[in-house]
Amino acid sequence: MAPITIKVKQNGPYVVAGDDVARLTIVDHAGRPIVPEGTSVSLCRCGASASKPFCDGTHGRIGFVGAEAALAAGAGSE
């Protein structure tokens, strides 16, 4: 059985994957449980998804830049 992993996609979502993902429970802001289906789930990191907490691909349309890239870009601007 593959362990659950959380991968940070460059300028994209957090991808939670593994054989037991269906056993995870995500709790929304009102305390309601959301049970993911399948073997992976992509969680929004840009804040612009219309299907929060899940990623709907909006990050690509708005040009989201993850903190890693933003920090690297700003490092040489001082």
User: Which residue segments constitute the domains of the chain, with CATH numbers given?
Assistant: 5-75 (3.40.5.90)
Q: Which residues pair with 54 in a beta bridge?
A: 43
The answer on pLDDT for 22 being more than 90 is no
Per-residue pLDDT, averaged over 47-58, amounts to 95
Block residue for tokens 């992976």:
40
What pTM did the predictor assign?
A: 0.80
Block residue for tokens 């049970």:
35
Assign 54 to helix, strand or coil: strand
The answer on pLDDT for 78 being more than 60 is no
Amino acid at 56: D
CA–centroid distance for 17 within its chain = 11
Give dist(CA 33, CA 77) in Å, integer: 43
